[in-house]
Structure 1
Amino acid sequence: MRKLAKPIPLYNIDGTENRDGTITEVAVLDMAIGDHREKVVFVVTDIGDEDVIIGLDWLREHNPEVDWERGSLRLSRCPEACPAHQKASKPVETKVHDTEVRLMARNGPRRVRKAKMVGRIRAAVMVEEEEEDKPPPPATYTYSQQLAEQEYQKKEIRPVKEIVPKQYHEYLRVFSKEASERLPDHGPYDHAIELMPDARMFHSKVYPLSPSEQVELDKFINENLAKGYIQELKSLMSSPFFFIKKKDGSLRPVQDYRWLNDITIKNRYPLPLVSDLMD
């Protein structure tokens, strides 16, 4: 175990702050996955019931072949610098449901701790030491979302005229998708975002997207440019973009404006009740 010169801020996978707060120590341990053995530097923190999480950097470096159907992984593409690559005469293959990650302390009493990976491979990205950005907001695809998606796909899509009662057909334009895709004319009360006088300019890293999400992002940009919702410009500030899966299986685009909200002048004018406006 050794102390870090500078603590590393720590966040959970869902973007919330870890209860340990920061990472202050690292440990160099012998790690074995099947017959694959090497020394790995681990940061020390509380990760709940799990003993170890293998970081994305390690997975990228060793690039294991994963057979999802057989439930096995094959360490056949280790880099030449990997000690296990130099010693192994043939690639290591192991069943995922039998896999154990074994950690042996280098100094002090010899102890073995096991983190069984039952039916799946756990991985997480460790926060870099110089990272100061806010974590991405929580966005997960839950089991309930999967069920909702299956139910939604069973529904029959009906025309708007069949859904809206006849007495309201003169207002069908209100329900028109085409009409909703154009901005209204400018008026005396156009929305504006006013920034604090001493606001600090900000920019953030781009959140990584999957190939399918990148296709949807390109589609989103082109559609909204055509509608006039957005326009090309150069700015000193930027906000990241990501997607959340909806119950019908499509992707909902989300712009992360938390940084912008922090420097926006809040308008706390009390809005009238909707019931009063309708009376």
Structure 2
Amino acid sequence: TGTICTRTALLDSRATGMFMDLAFARENGLDVQLLTHPIFYNVDGTLNEMGSVCKEVEVILWIDDHSKQVVFSMIRLGKTKLIIGHTWLHHHNLEINWTTGKLTLTQCLSDC
């Protein structure tokens, strides 16, 4: 829809996917889609405490001059609005300046 949202995301190397708070997506008018096969369980086989993942949204994620079309799974995250997980972090192998909080994508693969 052309909606631009500026938001700080949580980088979580233990999360396997990309997650967005469902209320945040709705508040920003994002086009949320139903999954054909909802996800009820975590990777370790336990039930997801925050409920099933039955919706997703496709967006363009911008970090500085880098953009990538990504799919976020919708869950209730509370105060956290976005989680960027291990798969994305591993693929992009970004550098983090822990003092300033600045992310640099110097080693991004050519398909980005």
Superposition TM-score tier, normalisation by shorter sequence: 0.5 to 0.7
The SS at the match of 2:54 is strand
Q: Does 1:81 align with 2:81?
A: no
The SS at the match of 2:91 is helix
Is residue 57–residue 72 contact of structure 2 (8 Å, CA) maintained in 1? yes
Structure 1 residues 65 and 4: CA distance shift in structure 2, 3 A: same
The SS at the match of 2:103 is strand
Cα distance in 2 between the residues matched to 1:35 and 1:10 = 36
Q: Does 1:2 align with 2:30?
A: no
Q: Structure 1 stretches of 5 or more lacking a match?
A: 83-279
Runs of 4+ aligned structure 1 residues displaced above 4 Å come to none
State the number of aligned residues.
78
User: Counterpart amino acid of 2:111?
Assistant: A
Cα distance in 1 between the residues matched to 2:96 and 2:81 = 22
Identity %: 32
Cα distance in 1 between the residues matched to 2:73 and 2:60 = 14
Cα distance in 2 between the residues matched to 1:33 and 1:61 = 14
- The match for 1:39 is 69
Alignment of 1:124-135 (within 5 A): none
Larger helix proportion, structure 1 or 2? 1
* 2:60 counterpart (22, 25, 30): 30
TM-score by length of 2: 0.59
Structure 1 residues 47 and 10: CA distance shift in structure 2, 3 A: farther
Q: Does 1:65 align with 2:95?
A: yes
Q: Does 1:49 align with 2:79?
A: yes
Cα distance in 2 between the residues matched to 1:30 and 1:47 = 20
User: Counterpart amino acid of 1:31?
Assistant: L
Q: Does 1:18 align with 2:84?
A: no
Cα distance in 1 between the residues matched to 2:59 and 2:97 = 27
The SS at the match of 2:82 is coil
User: Counterpart amino acid of 1:66?
Assistant: I
Structure 1 residues 48 and 70: CA distance shift in structure 2, 3 A: closer
Alignment of 1:239-254 (within 5 A): none
Is residue 40–residue 47 contact of structure 2 (8 Å, CA) maintained in 1? no
Larger strand proportion, structure 1 or 2? 2
Cα distance in 2 between the residues matched to 1:69 and 1:45 = 30
Greater relative contact order structure (CA < 8 Å, 6+ sep) = 2
Cα distance in 2 between the residues matched to 1:34 and 1:70 = 14
TM-score by length of 1: 0.26
Cα distance in 2 between the residues matched to 1:73 and 1:61 = 14
The SS at the match of 1:18 is coil
Structure 1 residue 9, shift from structure 2 partner: 2.2
Structure 1 residue 70, shift from structure 2 partner: 4.5
User: Counterpart amino acid of 1:73?
Assistant: L
Structure 1 residues 27 and 71: CA distance shift in structure 2, 3 A: closer
Cα distance in 1 between the residues matched to 2:68 and 2:78 = 25
Q: Structure 2 stretches of 5 or more lacking a match?
A: 1-31
